[in-house]
Amino acid sequence: MCGIAGWIDWTQDLQTQRQVIDEMTATLVRRGPDAQGVWTSCHALLGHRRLSIIDLAHGAQPMASSGDEVVLTYSGEVYNYQVLRRDLQALGQIFSTLSDTEVVLRAYLQWGEEAFARLNGIFAFALWDERDQSLWLVRDRFGVKPLYYSLNGGGVLFGSEPKAILAHPQVQPVLDASGVAELFALSTAPTPGHGIYQGVHQVKPGHALRFDVNGRQDRVYWSLTAHAHADDPHQTAREVSTLLRRVVEEQLVADVPLGSLLSGGLDSSAITAYAADALKQHGRQLPTFSVDFTGGGQGFVPTPWQSSWDEPYAQLAAASLQTRHTTLQVAPEQVLEQELAVLRARDLPGWGELDSSLYLLFQQVRQHATVALSGESADEVFGGYPFFHDPQALAYDGFPWLAGKSGLWQLLRPEVATRVAPEEYIDRRYREALSEVPRLEGESPTEQRQREVTYLALTRWLPAMLDRKDRISMAVGLEVRVPFCDHRLVDYVWNVPWSIRSVAGEGKTLLRNATRDDLPGEIVERKKSGFPANPDPRYLELLRDKVKKLLIEGDSPVFQLLDARRVGELLELGQPLPSPRASSSPTAGLAYLLNLDQWLRQYQVDIRL
């Protein structure tokens, strides 16, 4: 899957700065443990770390055209690269490798910026064009692969992760008021393009940025559009099944071992069913993986976000689909031991035990596979989350997942809250998001609101989920693919009327109908159940003790932002801290506070409000 980094500067000769690009690129070694490459010219330094997936013996990067007219540093997979390769060969392009990397390079040489919309996959890449001294930064349609950039004097820095940019000697980690607002008010659904660190931005999903000596241009090569849906419910379910099966089969291409994440939920089970069936036709058995906690769910209490314990369903799905299944058992102490590794993976505060458990799971998967399929984004596409069906959330004049919810911003010190104005910030970002929603004339108010909520879920909520998945998987050199993010599937389902997507208030009715013949009935009818939080009371006590220690020591940088007195009061009362996540748990707020403290210390973040 790889990691990319670069420094472009039109005002100076960068060829004496080789050490800088080496250091920037080296920060991404976990994303690409197999090889490193650097390309230099007067005004461009490009770096690459490779995780070999396709054409293992070739495809070294950065990859340049003959004569070095155009140079590419690329992260991701283009699933239709073989089709594009044939088209390009017919047009006279000559290939020297079998890699999808060369297809991206030659597609640009043939079609220019029109090439970007022809790519079907998950990718983030930089193209340096020596002919006109321009840089393209391009990101896939849903932002599955990350890409950050920062303007720097007479040029631009970029990298797959913030750490690559922070490795540049002229960049310091600074947190300003908008960064605080993102971390404390919108951590579940961050603003597209915001990089949290002052001066650091993300290329937005579906966008291509062009930089040259005259400045920056932002091109949108893909976005959701609204149009009428003609198929009846039966035809719609059949089309979804056909599309999903085709997408999964396309995403099985790899020259390395492949597996699937299997929680026993509808989403991961559907992906696994189609993958297992496709591999079975070639005499191969699909490895699958799940995570469980010691105690087997003892102490588990159902919530709207987690209706049932995963492991029994994972075992049922694995047996029914005849996969080779492995379950990772996680103890509370193991979760805490992974905090620093997860922080280094994310470069930002994360989601506590949910991240650590996922990291441990991915470590286990990586021992058996280099590529894994995941069910991410099915809830956003098909309407699986509680806020799609909660009348209070749908009527709320704001992000629906925040309806009736207290937020961690309520613990900000008064002077910080005044400067950050978190509630005003949330409202402003919500209005911005609503202004983007494509409209379809003639829709009822109910359909209009569900279209809005789906758009918010796909463009605000989903990116945080994908970022978490990418960052933690790549920290162990594992590529995770997300078939439900295929834009053809999303384009189709996005315009399906809500009355077909959801019947009688049921989440994901359409997906259930599409997969009913392929999965056990218990899994088809299983209610939404998110990634499990650790129910072990020992874990809660460990977190409480660590926060109490911070309060006693009194020198934590997190209390430059949070009101220590209020935090102490809630601990004494035995009440949970407000959670940054919509799917709250007694441990979520505590874990986030500890993660914030560790991030501020480890990264030596300068708070400037």
> Catalytic site residues?
2
468: left (phi over 0), alpha (psi -120 to 50) or beta: alpha
Strand-strand pairing, 44-50 and 35-40:
antiparallel
Residues 6 or more apart whose CB falls under 8 angstroms from that of 16 comprise: none
How many residues does the structure list for the chain?
A: 609
- Report yes or no: 457 and 493 within 8 Å, Cβ to Cβ: no
- Cα within 13 Å of Cα(410), Cβ side: 9
Residue type, 424: E
Using DSSP's 3-state secondary structure scheme, residue 75 falls into: strand
Examine residue 386 and say whether the peptide bond preceding it is cis (omega within 30 degrees of 0): no
* Spacing of C-alpha 108 from chain mean position: 26
Classify burial at 125, counting beta carbons within 10 Å of its beta carbon; exposed 0-12, middle 13-18, buried 19 or more: buried
The H or E element containing residue 121 is strand 121-129
**Both tokens assigned to 220:** 């949108």
Instruction: Classify strands 3-9 and 155-159 as parallel, antiparallel or unpaired.
Output: antiparallel
Calculate the alpha carbon distances from 270 to 13, 36, 194 in Å.
Answer: 53, 37, 33
In sequence order, the 6+-apart residues with CB closer than 8 A to the CB of 34 are: 50, 51, 52
Cβ atoms within 10 Å of 340's Cβ, excluding its own: 11
The C-alpha atoms of residue 575 and residue 559 are separated, in whole angstroms, by 19
